[in-house]
Structure formats: C-alpha cells, structure tokens
Structure 1
Amino acid sequence: MLAPFLIMLREGLEAALITGIIATYLRQTGRSAWMPLVWIGIFLAVAMSLFVGAALQWVSAEFPQKMQELFEACVGLVAVVVLTSMVFWMRKAARSIKAELHHSIDNALHSSAAGWALIGMVFFAVAREGLESIFFLLAIFQQSTGPAMPLAALAGVLISVAAGFAIYFGGLRLNLKRFFRWTGIFILFVAAGILAGAVGSLHEAGLWNGLQTPAWDLSAVLPVSSVLGAVLSGLLGYQESPSIGEVIVYLAFLAVSLYFFLQPYTPSAEAHSTAALKPAEGSNA
C-alpha cells in the first residue's frame, strides 16, 4: 500500500514541479494570459494517460490465461524500465531542469504557432509522468488485489497536487534533492520486486522454466497474507516462496542499479554551462 502511494506522490510532484516552473515563469515574465493553454496541455495529458491505462486493462482482460501471464510479464518489464529511467533521469535533470524549461518556453512562445507549441510542451512533460504512472500501476495492481492499492495511489496523487499548489504559491518548501534521492532508492527496490514478479509471470506463460527451485519457503513463518508480509511485499517485493531465478534477478538488479544510482553525479561541461544560465533548483523549491 505504501509503494503506490509514494511512487504516485513522487510522480505527481515531478509533474507539479514542471508545471509549477512553467506557470511561475509565465507569471514572472508578464505572460499570465497563456496560462489557460497550460491547463489544456495538463488535461489532455491526464486524459490520454487514463485512456491508455483503460485500453491496456480492457485488452488484457480478453486474453487467455497464458497470454494474460505474458502480458503481465511485459507490463512488468516495461514498468521496470520506465521506473529505472525515471529515477536516473531526475537524478541528472534536477540541477538544470528550471533553466531548460525557461529556454523551452521562450522558444515555444516565439514560434509561429506559439499556442500549440506551449500546449505541446506541457502535454509531453505531464504525459511522460502519466504514462510512467500507468505502467507502474498496471504492474503493481496485477500483483496485488483489493481496493487498498488504488486508494493509496489516489492519495499520493491528491497530496502531490496539494503540494504543487503550495509550492507554487510559496507556502511550502521541500528539500527536493533529499526527497528525490530517498524516493529513488525506494523505487529501485520496488522495481526489483516487479522484475522478480515478471520472471514468475514468464514461467507461468511457459517461456522461462530455469532456476525454478524454491530458494526458501517462509509461508508458515511470514506469509504474504499477514500484515507484515503484505507490507514487505508492497515495499520490497517480498515473496514467501520465491524461485532461485527470481531471487537472482532481484539481487542482481538491486546491486547494479543501486551502485550506479549512489555514485556521486558529476555534471558534464555542457550541463554546467546550462545550469549557469539560472540558479539551480538546489535543495529547495
């Protein structure tokens, strides 16, 4: 339950920060009249994300059992790629995103089709976060049942929207560097659990039959149906009786991804010159 909440909080806050930077820059440069187009871009992106999610869910419901397992594996693999790339992208872009967005706004509003350019800019920025969220939620909902997960995800979105408005109007300041670092580590653990689940789905689909010996069986000690087991399952991808293959994939992914994520990030010379155009976001917004 905590996993969808925190990830949707992070995804929503990323989208809120991007749109907040755009809205603030328009206001500061006397271009507030363009704000309705920003809202159009946001609504179009949200609508498209919801449509894609509903379409994927509807299509998957028509599949036979083995095809359903293959679909779940594919969604899980896509979710892992999306979540991992999102974590590393924000780690790289956080320092210069403000200056880059300001530059993109200026270019959009000086183009021959300024209105469409601004709508498109906002649309693609928010749609990126929306599609990331859709693939994650599909993957996590397929591995969990009940209303708790959707409600937790909705709570994360609502709080991120409220935080976005509070940041925009100056009432809330967050240590964004620390927030994205710790949520990034958490998301990598979630992605490892989704990846292990995808390996299990590939086995159920008949496409992967190696290393299927159970690594351990804790069903009598810590079943997934227990409160602690459910929490660990949602947070860390815990399974009471995983196969050796699932354990290997889980640990290998974590070892590689955490190693690179925890390395000190050294911006390139180009990034330094871009960041010098405007003060970096730094640790507060």
Structure 2
Amino acid sequence: MLAPFLIMLREGLEAALIVGIIASYLKQTGRAGWLPAVWIGILLALALTLFVGAAVQTLASGYPQKTQELFEAIIGFVAVIVLTSMVFWMRKVARSVKSGLHQDIDAAFSGQGNTALALIGMVFFAVAREGLESLFFLLAIFQQSEGLAVPVGALLGLLVAALLGYGIYVGGVRLDLRRFFRWTGVFILFVAAGILAGSLRALHEAGLWNSLQTVVFDASHVLPLDSILGSVLSGVLGYQETPTVGEVIVYVAFLALTLPWFLKAPAVSPSVPARSIG
C-alpha cells in the first residue's frame, strides 16, 4: 500500500500544483470567469486516463499465460522509463514551472486563437501527463501484486494529494516542496528498481530470458513473501525471497546509475511558495 500511496500522492500533488497555479493566476488577473475551462481540461484528462487504462487491460486479457507474462514485462519496462523520467523532469523544470505557466496563460489571452481551447489544452496536457504516468505504474504494480492494498493505497494517495493541493491553494497548508519532491524521488527510484527486476522475472516466465537464473539466496524461511513484512517489502521495493543473479544485477545497477545522478545536483525548489500556489 505504501508504494502506490506515495507515488499517487506525488503525482496527484504535481497535477494539483499545476492546476492551482493556473487557477490562481486566472483569479488574480481578473479572469476567474474562465475557470470552467480548467475543470473541462481536468475531466477530459481523467477520461483519457481511464480510457487508456481500460484499453490496455482489455488487450492484456484473454491471451495465453506466456503472452500475458510478456505483456507484464513490457508494462513494467514502460513504467520504469516513465517513473525515472518523471523524477528527473520534475527536478529540472520545477524552478521555472510557475513563470512558464503564467507566460502561457498571458499568451493564450493575447493571441488570436481560441482562449478557452488554449486553457483547456494547458490543463488537459498537464493532468493527462500525470495521469498516464500513474497509469503505467499502477498497471505494473497490479500485475506484480495481489489484493486490495494497491488500489486502496492509490486512492488514499490521490485523496491526500487533492486535500493538500487545495490547502496550498487557499493558503492554509505549508509544505516544504523541495524536500517532498527530493525524497519521494529517491523512493520512486527504489520502486522503479523493483519493477525492473520483476519485469526481468516476467521475461523469464514468458520464455524469452533464460540467462543468469542462479538463485542468489533463499530467504523463504526467514522472510517469506506471504508474511506481513515480506508482503510490504515486495510491494514497496520489489523484494523477492529467491532472487536470481539477473534480478539482483539489474536492481543494483539501476540504483547505482540513477541515485547518484539524481542526488548529485542540488534539488531545486518549485517556484510555488510553500504557503500558496498563487
């Protein structure tokens, strides 16, 4: 539950911050009458995310077991790419996201095009990006986990993100966004490493990867997957009680490459004040 909760919290808060910046700037500049366009953009983005999710799930069902394992591996690899690019993208653009959105809004009102469509498009693409990123992560976790913990954790994360986003927007919540995005970024990289190792395992089960299958250790008697702690570690960090050499290599190599790179540059603080989005 922890992994989907934190990732959906981060994704939801990113979307809430962007939407809040747009809504706050419209209100401050006397353009509050255009706020319905913001809601239309949000609803269209949510509809797209749900449609893509349903389409992917439909395509995955009804195939032979090995084909489903291959599909699981592909979804996992896509999720790793999306999660990794997400944390590095946010680190890169966080400082300029507010000023950039303000410029885009001003351009939408000063241009000759349809202002409503421009605003809807801004919100749509911002929320759709976060929604599709979350979708591939959740699909990968759903395929590697069982039970209600994943959907419950994801829904709780979205709920808390919405509450925090609104609290920041109205000025009643203070949040250190620099530290939040930095440490959730580190956590997401560990989650991505676990998904990557699980995807390699799925490739083996699909019959496409048969190298480096020697079991490194067997912790089934000490920390079995069906125990509470084993289940938590599996859902959060991709823990396996009998990892193979290949899974350990990709797990360690991924973290060895991404963590120093992510932590090397000082984390930048979003230009959004912790007290208010406006």
TM (norm. structure 2) is: 0.96
Task: Kindly provide the CA deviation profile for residues 221-255 of structure 1, in whole angstroms up to 9, marking residues without a partner as x.
Answer: 10111011111112211110011000000000001
Instruction: Compute the displacement of 1:126 (Å).
Output: 0.3
Verify the 8 A CA contact 1:6 1:156 in the aligned structure 2: yes
**1:169 corresponding residue in structure 2:** 170
- The SS at the match of 1:196 is helix
Residue 240 (structure 1) aligned with residue 255 (structure 2): no
Q: 1:148, 1:207 → 2: CA distance?
A: 30
* Structure 2 equivalent of residue 271 of structure 1: none
Secondary structure of the residue that 2:214 maps to in structure 1?
Answer: coil
Q: CA deviation at 1:138?
A: 0.2
How big is each residue's C-alpha offset from its partner over 1:118-170, in whole Å with a ceiling of 9 and x where there is no partner?
Answer: 10111000000000000000000100011111011001001111111111111
- For 2:93 and 2:35, locate their aligned partners in 1 and report how far apart those are by CA, in whole Å: 24
Query: What aligned pairs does 1:125-136 form with structure 2 within 5 A after superposition?
Result: 125-136=126-137
Query: Are the aligned partners of 1:109 and 1:115 in contact in 2 as well (CA < 8 Å)?
Result: no
Distance in 2 (CA, whole Å) between partners of 1:6 and 1:240 is 24
Aligned 8 A contact 1:95 1:282 in 2: no
Counterpart CA distance in 2 for 1:282 and 1:253 is 33
Residue 171 of structure 2 contacts residue 275 of structure 2 at CA under 8 Å; is this kept in 1? no
Residue type matched to 1:40 in 2?
Answer: I
Structure 1: 5+ residue runs without aligned partners? 268-274
Alignment of 1:18-167 (within 5 A): 18-111=18-111, 112-167=113-168
Sort the Cα spacing of 1:134 and 1:266 in 2 relative to 1 into closer, same or farther, 3 A: closer
- 208-217 or 102-111: bigger deviation: 102-111
CA shift, 1:281, in A, is: 3.0
- Runs ≥4 residues deviating over 4 A: 282-285
The residue type equivalent to 1:165 in the other structure is: Y
Cα distance in 2 between the residues matched to 1:284 and 1:205 = 50
Asked if the contact 1:92/1:265 (under 8 Å) is kept, the reply is no
- Percent identity at matched positions? 66
CA RMSD of the aligned region, Å? 1.5
Cα distance in 1, alignment partners of residues 233 and 110 from structure 2: 51
Tell me the equivalent position of 1:272.
Answer: none
Q: Give the stretch that moved more between structures: 89-98 or 33-42.
A: 89-98
Alpha-carbon distance in structure 1 between the residues aligned to 2:89 and 2:275 = 19
Aligned residues of 1:178 and 1:283 also touching (Cα < 8 A) = no
Q: Assess if the C-alpha contact under 8 Å between 1:96 and 1:281 holds in 2.
A: no
Residue 101 of structure 1 aligns with an amino acid whose one-letter code is L
**Letter paired with 1:258:** L
- Matches of 2:108 and 2:203, distance apart in 1: 45
Report the number of matched residues: 275
8 Å CA contact 2:172–2:275 kept in 1: the answer is: no
**SS of equivalent residue, structure 1 residue 94:** helix
